[in-house]
Amino acid sequence: MATIIKAAPKVGMVSLGCPKALVDSERILTKLRADGYGLSPDYAGADVVLVNTCGFLDSAKEESLEAIGEAIAENGRVIVTGCMGNEADVIRARFPDVLAITGAHQYEAVVSAVHEAAPPTRGAFVDLVPEGGLKLTPRHYSYLKISEGCNHSCAFCIIPTLRGKLASRRIDAVLREAEKLVSAGTKELLVISQDTSAYGVDTRHEPREWQGRQVRAHMTDLARELGSLRTSDGIAPWVRLHYVYPYPHVDDVIPLMAEGYLTPYLDIPFQHAAPDVLKAMKRPANDAKVLERIRKWRSIAPDIAIRSSFVVGFPGETESDFEYLLNWLEEAQLDRVGAFRFEPVDGAQANDLPNPVPEEVKEERFQRIMAKTAAISAAKLGAKVGRSIPVIIDEIGDVDEDGSIGATGRSQADAPEIDGHVYLRDVAPTLKAGDVVLVNVEDADKHDLFGVVA
């Protein structure tokens, strides 16, 4: 007699916001898949839709509300989670038919809400979860979240309110997850948190046994262990550090880049350079010698790429402050820069500061900083023309009318989604996503490189 397996309910997911939220979405979907749920790529096929929201800025909140509205219009059965879940009253007022609302990284609560909305079908006939869990990124790169929350109280930020104080994961748990990801095909690990430099501070850097030895929950120990992992081909994965505050011990990870344990890349959220603005922002680790440290880092790891983000138009920012920032950028010569116009956020201390900057001044300063950083980027990328650099392949193009194939990849100076690309011509048909190849750089523009496989 044939066994009839009842079709599993399907879940759709809309994931908004930062990579940390993306990791939350992956964890939720992995748990739901283990519970027997299928995944739907569209609204029509989903029994329930999850919207993982962002609540950092008012513009992000509006985007989240628009996504919730679209999901309700297209499907009707919607569960909301993520950072904006802390504002359930706002969501309910606009969308009273939402089935449930949970806050950021409340995995059990959102899974329980799905169980209630669309009860799972149990069965032991299908291998439900792939090794390493479900991913919302390509197979060859993965985000590795090492902690939740943040201990800082920056005037423009409400992350501690949304996600709580720093809560570091156990070092052995992080390394076990990384090992599984690499064995499942990950070629690039992107280490993320709210403050990677503070990893383990809350646990007093508690050591755990890992492969027969004690390893501390500390950024330098973590970096060395991640850089010691190997793929099935015996190749070290790229290990990229994000959200690194420039505490003194960051100096200790630069030699690890020179030794090949880490990808020579640091994502440091400087936010500004003028002392008065940094003081008003309540920024941590305001080190007057940071330019000197950057020069030292480059002397140790000459290929290091430093990316950062800056806020223009913060309350009280004067023209003198902004000129200070532009001069600082000229001296710092950062490789990758993102800029944002200051935007009030409900609950942020900065909302009460005097001397708000007019919108037209914010816009004018934004255009000036983007022009400055684009010129720096163009010069730095132009200096790479004629060099051969390693590139990880993200996408293979279709065969064109001449029979040639192009590909898109990234250098070690480029994180996915936020930095530039390397565009390749005339690649071999055997090339595939995730391959790391040596590329001869032939040309460059303000943000991207162009070349051919060596």
282 annotated binding-site participant: no
Q: How far apart are CA 311 and CA 353, in angstroms?
A: 15
* Residue 319 burial (C-beta neighbours within 10 Å; 0-12, 13-18, 19+): exposed
Strands (E), 54-212: 78-82, 100-101, 141-145, 147-148, 167-168, 188-192, 208-210
Neighbours of 299 (CB within 10 A): 11
DSSP structure class, residue 271: B
Report whether 149 contacts 160 (CB < 8 A): yes
54 annotated binding-site participant: yes
> Taking each helix axis from N to C terminus, what angle separates 219-227 and 171-183, rounded to the nearest 10 degrees?
20
- The three-class DSSP label of residue 279 is helix
25 annotated binding-site participant: no
Nearest residue to 332 (alpha-carbon basis) of 273, 410, 378: 273
Token pair for 84: 């904006």
Token pair for 278: 């940094």
343 annotated binding-site participant: no
Q: φ, ψ for residue 154 (rounded to 5)? A: -60, 140
Sequence-distant (6+) residues with CB within 8 A of 318 are 276
* Residue 150 burial (C-beta neighbours within 10 Å; 0-12, 13-18, 19+): buried
Tell me whether strands 10-15 and 48-53 are parallel, antiparallel or unpaired: parallel
Q: How far apart are CA 198 and CA 193, in angstroms?
A: 9
Bin 439: left if φ > 0, else alpha if -120 < ψ < 50, else beta: beta
Q: How far apart are CA 24 and CA 27, in angstroms?
A: 5
15 annotated binding-site participant: no
283 annotated binding-site participant: no
Nearest residue to 222 (alpha-carbon basis) of 270, 284, 177, 164: 177
Bin 209: left if φ > 0, else alpha if -120 < ψ < 50, else beta: beta
Binding-site residues for [4Fe-4S] cluster sit at: 18, 54, 83, 150, 154, 157
Which residues sit in the known binding site? 18, 54, 83, 150, 154, 157
